Amino acid sequence: MATLIDGKKISQEIKDELKEKVAKLKEDGISISLAVIQVGNNPASTVYVGNKKKACAYVGIESLAYELPEETTEEELLQLVQELNEKKEVNGILVQLPLPGHIDEDKVIQAISPAKDVDGFHPQSVGALSIGQKGFVSCTPAGIIELLKRSGIAIDGKECVIVGRSNIVGKPMALLLLRENGTVTVCHSHTADLKEVTRRADILVVAIGKAKMIDADYIKEGAVVIDVGMDRDENGKLCGDVDFESAKEKAGAITPVPGGVGPMTIAMLMNNCVESALMQK
């Protein structure tokens, strides 16, 4: 029976540490602000953005909300990003994805100043990560590293297998695990024998967006299983990419959904905002 990795509890610890740090900075006259831009009203995005604003309020970071209509043009959005880049009092800029189809996401991400790229999505941030230079790191994979470290799970020398190769999770996850001296394999939809590869993992990170796809059969006895999925099961209930009930019987440690990786993403966003303000001052 696996140990539960409690992301909710660990993220709360991080937010409490940051809250203290932010209060001390305030005494020194340093305040922190994050601009959060949402275009249109995708219901999932509204929930995520709401959670980010709530975390800002808790930690003591001012959130500046820009709720733009669905019809906003790419030019208007780029103009806003440019204005926020130039505003000294804005430390971080976050454009919630996905954007409406008529807006080129890559163009918008590239318009954000790398100094304010608290999501870590800018090509300069990703490039810096890949060659071991300083820069913002995508919050979900950064949160997973923190989750492992704070749970006392060693990465050095371990077989790390990632299922999924997205720009936001899979690829930066591979780079971060490599930086921690893991032996890293990335699987994807063209992997010939997925089970054969995932069964080698000491640490298995799953980010594929398919409800309950990874069951005990894919897992080595005692492995650490990190579930990045946010899916709905056949009854419409929130679940992950891992079949938790089956996997927990074989894994050594496992993250639940909800309450695993999700809250860590937001805690790391708060951390990036604090870092961003410190670097700018």
Contact between 231 and 211 under an 8 Å Cβ cutoff? The reply is: yes
Whose Cβ is closer to ligand GUN: residue 144's or residue 197's? 144
Stretch that binds ligand GUN, among 26-34, 94-102, 124-132, 171-179 (CB under 6 A): 94-102
Check: CB of residue 216 under 8 Å from CB of residue 248: no
Before 141, cis peptide (omega within 30)? no
281 has catalytic annotation: no
Separate counts of helices (H) and strands (E) for the chain: 10, 11
What is the smallest separation between the CB atom of 109 and ligand GUN, expressed in angstroms?
Answer: 9
- x/- map, 207-246, ligand GUN, by CB under 6 A: ----------------------------------------
Q: Does 206 bind ligand GUN (CB under 6 A)?
A: no
- Is position 96 annotated as part of the catalytic site? yes
Q: Where are the beta strands (DSSP E) in 108-170?
A: 159-163
Burial of 198 (0-12, 13-18, 19+ CB in 10 A): buried
Tell me: does residue 68 bind ligand GUN (CB under 6 A): no
Residue 246 amino acid letter: S
Mutual orientation of helices 7-27 and 43-59 as an angle, nearest 10°? 50
Query: Which member of 25, 30, 65, 97 binds ligand GUN (CB under 6 A)?
Result: 97
Query: Restricting to residues 118-137, which ones interact with ligand GUN according to CB under 6 A?
Result: 119
CB 69, min distance to ligand GUN, A: 18
Q: Which is nearer to ligand GUN, 125 or 198 (CB)?
A: 125
Output the smallest distance, CB 49 to ligand GUN, in A: 9
Looking at residues 132 to 161 of the shown chain, list those that interact with ligand GUN (rule: CB under 6 A).
139
CA dihedral 45, 48, 50, 51 (to 10 degrees): 180
Cis peptide leading into residue 123 (ω within 30°): no
Residue with the closest Cβ to ligand GUN? Answer: 97
Closest among 43, 32, 29, 174 to 116, alpha carbons compared? 32
Q: Does 38 bind ligand GUN (CB under 6 A)?
A: no
Query: d(Cα 35, Cα 260) in Å, to the nearest integer?
Result: 26
Binding to ligand GUN by residue 96, rule CB under 6 A?
yes
Catalytic residue among 15, 52, 158, 171: 52
Shortest Å, Cβ 229 to ligand GUN: 13
Asked if 139 and 185 touch (Cβ cutoff 8 Å), the reply is no
Q: Does 94 bind ligand GUN (CB under 6 A)?
A: yes
Q: Among the options 6, 15, 117, 119, which is catalytic?
A: 119
Residues that bind ligand GUN (CB under 6 A): 94-97, 119, 139, 265
